[in-house]
Amino acid sequence: MPTSPVKTRIPLTSFGHLITEVKRQLLGIEAPATVELTGWRKHFNTYTLQGRRNCVLVTYGALVLTAAAYMMIRRNKEEKTGAKPASP
């Protein structure tokens, strides 16, 4: 997509972009090249866009699964508590 001829400003609202620039300019830490990432790190890393997306999706999925498991356990507990007075 064609962009403005003026260099895009780093958005002040994104802390991550600032950290990346600081690491690169002050500390000389460069992101590893894509070819160096092998195995599971090829799909789950914090350097490529796809890697970051996959990490975010896995984190959200883990949160949703944790919440679902908690709700199911709580419902089972309530059912057991509700069933208890009925038994002799």
Partner 1 sequence: MALNFFDQFMSPTYLGIPLIALALSLPWVLFPTPSSRWLNNRLLTLQGWFINRFTQQMLLPLNLGGHKWAVLLTSMMIFLVTLKMLGLLPYTFTPTTQLSLNMGFAVPLWLATVVIGLRNQPTVALGHLLPEGTPVVLIPFLIIVETFSLLIRPLALGVRLTANLTAGHLLIQLIATAAFVLLPMMPTVAILTATVLFLLTLLEVAVAMIQAYVFVLLLTLYLQENT
The least CB distance from residue 16 to partner 1, in Å, is: 2
Query: How far apart (Å, rounded) are the C-alpha atoms in residues 17 and 13?
Result: 9
Which residue bears the tokens 């002050």?
Answer: 26
Out of 34, 36, 46, 67, the only residue in the binding site for partner 1 (CB under 8 A) is 46
**Is 24 in contact with 30 (CB distance < 8 Å)?**
yes
Q: Figure out which of the listed residues 34, 59, 66, 76 binds partner 1, where binding follows CB under 8 A.
A: 59
Nearest Cα residue to 43 out of 60, 31, 56, 30: 56
* Residue 9 binds to partner 1 (criterion: CB under 8 A): yes
Q: Which residues form the interface with partner 1 (CB under 8 A)?
A: 1-4, 6, 8-9, 11-17, 19-20, 23, 29, 31, 46-47, 49-50, 52-53, 55-57, 59-60, 62
